[in-house]
Amino acid sequence: MTEANVALETAGSAASPNRYPAHVGAARLYGDEFHRDPAAVYDQLRARHGAVAPVLMDGDIPAWIVLGYREFAYVLENPELYTRDSTLWNAWDLVPSDWPALPIVVGRDTAVWLGGLAHERRSTVLHDGLTVDPFELRARCERIADELIDTFAPTGEADLISQYAELLPVHALGAVLGIPPADCRVFTRDVITVVNGAPDAQEAFVRWRAGLQRQVVARRENLGFDVLSRLLTHPASLTDGELLEEMVTVFSLAHEMVSSWIGNSLRLMLGDPRFAATMFGGRRSVGDAMAQVLWEDTPAQSLTGRWLSRPSQLGSYQMAAGDMVIPSVTAANADPRVRPRSGIVETAGNQAHLSYGHGEHRCPLPAQEIGEVIAETAVRVLLDRLPDVTLAVPLEDLVWRPTIWIRGLTALPVVFGLA
């Protein structure tokens, strides 16, 4: 039995067969076997169920996963039917208070969750305010990258996740917003503590939020020429509370998505024989590696849930009002109906992946550009500074984070010669 098959073994559900008959024996989207190779599990689900499949999340909570590219787009293009309103969920009575995915499915007052005119207002502010000079941003990222590399370059070894990829995006975003470096270092520690679910995560979140609030209040009293000042003075006139919520979200996404993009790109360049054999060593290969990651190991593995506002058919299944639907970016990007698999060449210049989402909640273009500049600079500077860097462990020993939401490594140990 293969590892992927293990993940598809018959599972019991927290829900009764009368309420969720399609989920009896459904695949579990958790456990070591699934997290080691979710793409293989999605392929088997596609072969068994088609574009949509019943699945069980942590604790055997029932949901539907969207595997098809076209079905993914349909869900995101119909927010009235597939709503972001998680209060509609018909399985809340099955969810324990310590459920690990709870922060992912509880709505918040941010553009990520809002719809309609409220979403348009918030997203317009972010689109306008986050527009930056890419050359200035690249120069800032180069300085930050050099400073981080200086801390471990004399040792000949490093974990490129905890010592580099997790740190650089938050520092860079803080610089863009105009936050003083000392404050940004505190934010970075707290963001990492919160996102990684450390024991003191709640205290770190309170501290991080309070620190951001102080930045908002101080900047409103002393406006400058930075992004935070532009956000504060935008004609849409966000309140301090609204802007604070958006800043928390932006910092969280910068850490989660951009740090994983950096780590996954470095993993590809340092350890994937398909890639290293054809492009390793060329300056252009950084961009190619990053593009390949967005297709095959996208940081946004799955989008947060949508909930059916009324009964509806999707794929070959009839779903009930209140059912939870999870659009899988990883599976949709690999849909053979739109992307036959033929190696790495096919991704060159192909921007049709769904890693930035789709529809009204697609990642704003300025945010995409900021993330790309940060990630590209991080990878390029690291390889320029440490040209002989190699993995310290076999590729297959690297461990992925145990979540269906983010595709990122827990660690990326490397070794290199001393200058």
Per-residue pLDDT of 291-335, as tens digits, reads 889 988 999 999 988 999 999 999 999 999 999 999 999 999 999
Q: What is the spatial distance between Cα 255 and Cα 205, in angstroms, rounded to a whole number?
A: 14
Residue 416 is predicted with a pLDDT of 94
Domain 108-296+359-401+409-419's class? mainly alpha
Question: pLDDT by residue (tens digit) across 344-400?
Answer: 445 555 677 888 888 887 888 888 999 999 999 999 999 999 989 999 999 999 999
Question: Please, are residues 140 and 172 in contact by the beta-carbon 8 Å criterion?
Answer: yes
Residue of 356, 408, 313 whose CA lies nearest to 78: 313
Residues 361-378 as b or e (16 or more Cβ within 10 Å = b): bebbebbeebbbbbbbbb
pLDDT digits (tens, 9 = 90+) for 39-59: 999 999 999 999 999 999 988
pLDDT at residue 183, as a whole number: 86
| pTM flag (> 0.75) | yes
Closest CA to 329 of 286, 295, 369, 306: 295
d(CA 66, CA 76): 11
Query: Where in the chain is CATH 3.30.43.20?
Result: 1-106+301-354
Write down the CATH number for the domain with range 1-106+301-354.
3.30.43.20
Q: How far apart are CA 419 and CA 218, in angstroms?
A: 43
Which of the residues in the chain have pLDDT under 50? 1-12, 277-284, 343-345
CB 267 within 8 A of CB 398: yes
Region(s) of the chain under CATH 1.10.630.10 = 108-296+359-401+409-419
CA distances from 325 to 6, 53, 313 (A): 23, 10, 12
pLDDT at 275: 64
